[in-house]
Amino acid sequence: MTGMMQHNFPKLKNDRFLRAARGEEVDKIPVWIMRQAGRYLPEFREFRTKHDFFSICQTPEFACEVTLQPIKRFDLDASIIFSDILVIPQAMGLTVEMKSGVGPVLPQPIANPGELSRLKIPNVEKDLGYVGHAITLTRHRLEGKVPLIGFTGAPWTLMGYMIQGGGSSTMAQARSWLYKYPEDSLKLLQLITDVIVDYLVMQVQAGAQALQVFESHADYLNDELFDKYSLPFLNQISKRVKSKLNELQIPDVPMIAFPKGATYDSLELLAKDQCYDVIGIDWTVNPVEARERFGSNISIQGNMDPCAMYSTEKEVYARAREIANTFGKSRYIANLGHGILPDTPISSVEAFIRAIHSI
Ligand code: CP3
């Protein structure tokens, strides 16, 4: 990927999201929705009848089209490139299938440390370059309407899928590794971290204007495990990405960590380390307590319960306003506390966005 100076992207017209991420003043609270391009949209479901999940991810034209679907429909303040966190395990040589009604399945997970040798170290440009191409194309097609977010799964979350072979209510096998094979676990996490750093730098070079790191499996970690197996790698990712961009003389971009289900103490440690500009919180975290514990140097993103979208339109509106009023207009990005669910009413999405922008 050649330097971003050659891209000549259209000028950004709505920078609310980026301003809030950096702690600058905003005219209105910015709002976007995790998984905003997804199955609750009839146009996405229609598209999916024609194309397999990973071929959408791998075909820049397709990924771009799907990324733009929610932007055309709603008054959102950010877009997020259509992809999946599991493209990294794929690039490291593991087979990943998206099974309808089940979710992601890795038929040959890493069964024991001896099998770590099955993993290959990808060439990010070659093996994940398609994500960069999708980002560049989407930046042009967005015509500067809103910024484009790039993303990755965090090391522990990806390790979970690689060992467990899919989703799990306990992550027992992956979590057992942390006690049975602490050295090999750290080795695997470091291997994944190195890939993530190159992958995120590539995304920014391609045109990503912010980056989110999804630590979706933080809920399986107590403070001891978070401190050893998640936090150091999250911090390392942010520091190394920012310093590499600096070396390449590319302006850095706001970085968001979303450690879903992390304890208050774990969240507080992450906030105090100041490696991220924004922390995403799930719906179980109390907004007042989060503000108190995180301090005033960090922005917060979240956190309406995705299931609250099933209440009446009036209630969605009122609840969204209440949450936003509690966080306040400064250093706040409105979102749900996790990805939007596949059968969420469109009218709830509209009410949610309207409510946030009414403040
Ligand atoms: O709009 C967006 O947010 C961008 C697209 C996006 C997808 N996955 C598309 C997707 C993003 C940001 C992700 C991230 C992702 N993928 C995470 C982190 C966020 C989270 O939810 O914690 C995780 C854990 C995954 C892994 C994954 N991918 C799961 C568990 C599933 C199955 C559950 C589900 O919602 O179906 C997927 C599939 C997936 N990723 C879909 C979409 C639109 C649905 C699959 C389909 O279309 O058949």
SS3 content of the chain, % helix, strand, coil (to 5): 55, 10, 35
Tell how far the Cα of 84 is from the centroid of ligand 1, in angstroms.
Answer: 6
Report which of 291, 352, 279, 299 is spatially closest to residue 326, judged by C-alpha positions. Answer: 291
**Sheet strand arrangement including 299-304:** 79-80, 148-153, 210-215, 255-259, 278-280, 299-304, 332-336
Tens digit of pLDDT for each residue in 271-283?
999 999 999 999 9
Model confidence, pTM:
0.97
Residue nearest to atom 9 of ligand 1 (CA): 84
Q: Is the pLDDT of residue 1 over 80?
A: no
- pLDDT grade, residue 6 (50/70/90)? confident
Q: How far apart are CA 317 and CA 333, in angstroms?
A: 16
In total, the chain counts a number of residues equal to 359
Point out the ligand 1 atom lying closest to the alpha carbon of residue 37: 1
- The finding on whether 86 has its CB within 6 A of some atom of ligand 1 is yes
Domain ranges of the chain: 4-357
Q: How far apart are CA 102 and CA 58, in angstroms?
A: 21
- The finding on whether 82 has its CB within 6 A of some atom of ligand 1 is yes
Tens digit of pLDDT for each residue in 237-281?
999 999 999 999 999 999 999 999 999 999 999 999 999 999 999
Q: How far apart are CA 242 and CA 210, in angstroms?
A: 12
- The finding on whether 104 has its CB within 6 A of some atom of ligand 1 is yes
- The finding on whether 161 has its CB within 6 A of some atom of ligand 1 is no
Report the chain's C-alpha Rg in angstroms: 19
Tell how far the Cα of 339 is from the centroid of ligand 1, in angstroms.
Answer: 8
pLDDT of residue 2: 47
Longest dimension (CA), the chain: 56
What three-state secondary structure class fits 221?
A: coil
- pLDDT grade, residue 298 (50/70/90)? very high
Q: How far apart are CA 138 and CA 75, in angstroms?
A: 17
User: Mean of the pLDDT values across residues 339-354?
Assistant: 98
pLDDT of residue 79: 98
Partner residues linked to 259 by β-bridges: 215
* Beta carbons of 61 and 130 less than 8 angstroms apart: no
- The finding on whether 48 has its CB within 6 A of some atom of ligand 1 is yes
pLDDT of residue 119: 98
User: Phi first, then psi: what are they for 78, rounded to 5°?
Assistant: -155, 155
- The finding on whether 167 has its CB within 6 A of some atom of ligand 1 is yes
Look up residue 236 and give its amino acid: Q
Residue nearest to atom 3 of ligand 1 (CA): 35
User: Mean of the pLDDT values across residues 320-349?
Assistant: 98
Residue nearest to atom 17 of ligand 1 (CA): 85
What three-state secondary structure class fits 3?
A: coil
Residue nearest to atom 23 of ligand 1 (CA): 85
pLDDT of residue 4: 47
Report which of 172, 174, 161 is spatially closest to residue 214, judged by C-alpha positions. Answer: 161
Domain 4-357 has CATH 3.20.20.210: yes
Average pLDDT across the chain, whole number: 97
Give the single-character DSSP code of 218.
Answer: G
Q: How far apart are CA 86 and CA 157, in angstroms?
A: 10
Consecutive H or E run containing 98: strand 97-99
Tens digit of pLDDT for each residue in 61-78?
999 999 999 999 999 999
Tens digit of pLDDT for each residue in 16-60?
999 999 999 999 999 999 999 999 999 999 999 999 999 999 999
Alpha carbon distances (Å) from 74 to 56, 151, 312, 315, 339: 22, 21, 19, 19, 17
pLDDT of residue 210: 98
Consecutive H or E run containing 76: none
Q: Which positions are catalytic?
A: 35, 39, 48, 84, 161
Sign of the torsion formed by the C-alpha atoms of 220, 149, 73 and 87: negative
For ligand 1, pick from 85, 86, 156 the residue to mutate: most ligand atoms within 8 Å of CB: 85
Tens digit of pLDDT for each residue in 107-148?
999 999 999 999 999 999 999 999 999 999 999 999 999 999
